[in-house]
Structure 1
Amino acid sequence: MSTASHSAPRPSPPTSLRTGRMFALTGAVVGVIYGYDTGSISGALVFLSKDFGLTETEKGLVNSILVLGSIVGALIGGKLADALGRRVAMLIVAGSYTVFVALSAIAPTVEVLDAVRFLLGVAIGISIVAAPLYVAESTPARIRGASVAAYQVATVVGIVLTYFVNWGLSGGGHWRWMLGLSAIPAALVVIPLLRLPDTPRWYVLKGQTERAVEVMAVTDPEVDPRAEVASVRAALDEENGGSARSLLRKPYARAAFFVVGLGFFCQITGINAVTYYSPQIFEEMGFTGNGQNFLLPSFVELASLVAAVLAILIIDRIGRRVVLLSGIGTMVVMLGVLTVVFGAGKLHGTTTWVGFVAILLFTAAFNFGFGSLIWVYASEAFPAQLRSTGASVMLTADLVANLLIAQFFPSLMAKAGAAATFAGLGVLAVGALVFAAFTAPETKGRQLEEIQDYWRNGGRWPTAATPGPVGAAGPLGDSAAQPTSP
């Protein structure tokens, strides 16, 4: 087929890049709102607990009910985005954020607050699926990687903002404003979403080939839109039939075990204990004057932002395993330090600041290792027809672990004490380190087909000369077993 006679008219690159950046900016704003809504409860919980007279278990429920809703949202998010469109799913997310955030700010009782936060959690779960999908499928190839990474970084930016807002409002105990402020950007993001098209991939999915060609020509002028749409059609045909049941059978059961385990360890090691309860943790350390327990979490998240950006810059240079294992290893050390600090008795002076630095490095190490690698491994472990299914299963394991941390962390702190609680998290982090060391392959520079061969080959890299099952590389692979071609 001649591209000269059938290709859609192509706009100038600046027009396309502006459109692509608008997609990315819209996704990033949703990421900021998601991060803000995830972290806003950390400061609000200090004051609403007093207003509503909450027990430690009820405090945990205020957090865990949001995570429970997120699990529901994540499970329906993919089907919703396929049925109604990525753009419509994003509109639902933005509209739901606006309504449920506003309602949470005026909740008259804790029961109403819990109900509204469950619904907000459903919207968050949908956004976790829909927003990266919308950005990845809509931006030009040359800015796609940065655009998707920008969404992840935007989430950390949202958490940073919520801590500064919490600190600014802590003097008056304005927990309703802490929860409700993100309704404003959520409402504003609806405006560009109403003007932007859906993704070419979704139009192809719905048989709207000509519309897909038109949008492809606008979003990426450097490709032949008809040829690219044909490639999308072929990829969709290949993806048909990918089911969760397939993950339980060879040759991908091993890959499924890896990504599900990684997803679970990502959260069970306690990162969201810091995100949700950092003001209480810092108050336990003795930071109570001048709103220090609200201000210090802001610097913790700023360090996390730097760590996340650093990981993005070096992950393809020094390798996945180095980044992942060094991040988890640092988490283990910092949890050990926190155990010693809290076990030493009343904190004061130097020990107080040692505890702060340990929290800062623990959170930064998470964002450097787990935070930067989990989606990379999930996207690399499976062929196209199982990729979204595998990512969904991993996300569910991640959220289940998050639910456990959100619900039980305050009770553990109250009953077992901070030293025992952080010691328990340290043991789990050691488990995560051992798990990753024995299961995570080094996939730097590997083609997706090579990585799939690794899992088909029982967790061993096939040699260049002998494709198929061989026993030379062992469970982690080594340089001698790697193909000589790039």
Structure 2
Amino acid sequence: MAAPPTAPPPLSSGYRAGRMIALTGAVVGVVYGYDTGSISGALVFLSEDFDLSAGEAGFVNSILVLGNILGALVAGRLADALGRKPTMVLVAAAYAVFSALSALSPTVLVLDLVRFCLGVTIGVSIVAAPLFIAESTPARLRGAAVAGYQVACVAGITLTYFVNWGLSGGGHWRIMLGLAAIPSALVVIPLLRLPDSPRWYLLKGRVDEAARVMAATDPDVDPLAETAAIQHELRTERRGRGGSLGQMVRRPFLRATVFVLGMGFFCQITGINAVTYYSPQIFRTLGFHGDGQAFLLPAIVELVSLAATVAALFVVDRLGRRVVLLSGIGTMLATLLVLAALFGTHSLSGAGIWLGFGAIALFTAAFNFGFGALIWVYASEAFPARLRSLGASVMLTADLAANFLVAQFFPSVLEGLGATWAFGGFAALALIALVFMARVAPETKGRQLEEIRAYWQNGGRWPSEGEPGTTGGGLRPGTAPPLGTGVATSTPGERPRS
């Protein structure tokens, strides 16, 4: 066992270092969002160039999602083996290469192969980036920092739609797909300057480095006491054969596994990427005609969604995870019912068209406020250190499996059964999701990552003071008390705060 560190000097003060890590990780989210949105515009024109059927057009999307699934499955092991930061560097470089190759594809077969490779890269990134951010930011900022990744994703999608609109006149689908290579290449430079997460250093027994990074990124804790507490958790997990799928399907983490699988699946099966991937087709079904409207309206929708995602960032650490999540899902359900009713009663004329537009805008905003922001937070919080990357992989694999179903079959359902059945089906699934999440989603606001283990060990509730899993009224050594308690805390090199 490694010896405890001895008084490492802090690398910086305040929250600056943790915020820089969150910001740099979020840039990867912008690239992910850009690619997710770019295909919606490019698909209109490449379908014409390659003479694709509805099923073939769906496969251009779903082949990416198949790659996502593979990437998410290997991401946890990769992030544990290489480190969170080197995995992020690898992801950014691969983004640049495969985005450029997408723009140069001479046939749809080559495009599908490149998009599969790009999908693997995305699958790794959506596990590694939130994990890196969550493990490198203070508990009181973690919800906002990880939700900031979703802000970045939505910002990328919003940018894409405006780019698509600007390029739609010439049908420049290759430029639409290839532009993501530029920010991908640029983000490699700041990534190389960052440290890895302190929890990854501790997984590898590099205690001194962990303490130094902890001092730099989390002024709320004593880095020596915090690293000791995390080491204790890691030793406990090793005795329980931690870090395996076997432990995830046994108590005490079976409940957590059911939660993350359900959240991942419902996040996508309720239809958000039907709107993201096929928004031009949906707006044409609503009654908006011409490439100008079909490409501009999705951009306006994403601007509304971006505002909602920013709002989630500001309230997720104040109102709590459950309030934000459940209000978002409830609003999604209401808007899906409105859309199903509009299509079912054939009210798509005049005011009905704009009511449909408003429902789609509110649906997308509600998703990003609730599911969109919280999936990254819960993916990085639900499990202790040795299971965290694997648990995130499991959640996001379920998410991507549902995404594959939507990407592949939504065009055929829309064409064969009609919009009423498509959006009515999404509404039924949203109702199931609301009930499921209300029953199983924990409230993790303000909790240290290692502290969340106690929730699952206690049968899905937080231990009261004095129960196993709590220390000194629920605070582990080195953990800052909640804001406003008046309890003084200090870190090395700082005066006590009251």
Normalising by structure 1, report the TM-score.
0.86
SS of the aligned residue for 1:196 comes to coil
Deviation of residue 363 (structure 1)?
0.9
- Residues 380, 29 of structure 1: CA spacing in aligned structure 2 closer, same or farther, 3 A cutoff? closer
Correspondence for 1:423: 424
Q: Does 1:98 align with 2:96?
A: yes
Correspondence for 1:391: 392
Correspondence 1:52-71 to 2 at 5 A: 52-71=50-69
1:126-183 deviation line (CA, Å, top 9, x unaligned): 1112112223334566755543332221111111111111111111111111101010
Q: d(CA) in 2 for partners of 1:12 and 1:403?
A: 44
Q: Does 1:9 align with 2:5?
A: no
1:325–1:436 CA contact under 8 A, matched in 2: yes
1:95–1:187 CA contact under 8 A, matched in 2: yes
Output the amino acid matched with 1:13: S
Correspondence for 2:301: 300
Q: d(CA) in 2 for partners of 1:183 and 1:116?
A: 13
Correspondence 1:69-468 to 2 at 5 A: 69-139=67-137, 144-220=142-218, 225-240=223-238, 241-289=242-290, 291-345=292-346, 347-378=348-379, 381-441=382-442, 455-456=456-457, 458-459=459-460
| Unaligned residue ranges in structure 2 (runs of 5+) | 470-498
Deviation of residue 354 (structure 1)?
0.9
Output the amino acid matched with 1:202: W
Deviation of residue 320 (structure 1)?
3.8
Deviation of residue 250 (structure 1)?
3.1
Deviation of residue 105 (structure 1)?
0.5
| Unaligned residue ranges in structure 1 (runs of 5+) | 469-486
Which one has more relative contact order, counting CA pairs under 8 Å at least 6 apart? 2
Q: d(CA) in 1 for partners of 2:75 and 2:195?
A: 19
Alignment RMSD (CA, Å): 3.0
Q: d(CA) in 2 for partners of 1:140 and 1:249?
A: 30
Deviation of residue 447 (structure 1)?
8.0
Output the amino acid matched with 1:354: L
1:238–1:384 CA contact under 8 A, matched in 2: no
2:139–2:449 CA contact under 8 A, matched in 1: no
Deviation of residue 360 (structure 1)?
0.6
Q: d(CA) in 1 for partners of 2:12 and 2:459?
A: 48
Correspondence for 2:479: none
Output the amino acid matched with 2:8: A
- Residues 371, 86 of structure 1: CA spacing in aligned structure 2 closer, same or farther, 3 A cutoff? same
2:255–2:460 CA contact under 8 A, matched in 1: yes
Q: d(CA) in 1 for partners of 2:451 and 2:222?
A: 28
Correspondence for 1:22: 20
Question: Which has more helix, going by share of residues?
Answer: 1
Q: d(CA) in 1 for partners of 2:243 and 2:449?
A: 17
2:328–2:369 CA contact under 8 A, matched in 1: yes
Output the amino acid matched with 1:8: P
Q: d(CA) in 2 for partners of 1:330 and 1:376?
A: 20
Correspondence for 1:475: none
1:307-338 deviation line (CA, Å, top 9, x unaligned): 22222333344444433332222212211111
- Residues 379, 215 of structure 1: CA spacing in aligned structure 2 closer, same or farther, 3 A cutoff? closer
Q: After alignment, is 444-453 or 233-242 more displaced?
A: 444-453
Q: d(CA) in 1 for partners of 2:368 and 2:268?
A: 12
- Report % sequence identity: 68
Q: d(CA) in 2 for partners of 1:54 and 1:20?
A: 46
Q: After alignment, is 458-467 or 30-39 more displaced?
A: 458-467
- Residues 385, 139 of structure 1: CA spacing in aligned structure 2 closer, same or farther, 3 A cutoff? closer
- Residues 195, 106 of structure 1: CA spacing in aligned structure 2 closer, same or farther, 3 A cutoff? same
Deviation of residue 458 (structure 1)?
4.8
Q: d(CA) in 1 for partners of 2:463 and 2:85?
A: 42
Q: d(CA) in 1 for partners of 2:255 and 2:36?
A: 32
Q: After alignment, is 63-72 or 218-227 more displaced?
A: 218-227
Q: d(CA) in 2 for partners of 1:324 and 1:196?
A: 31
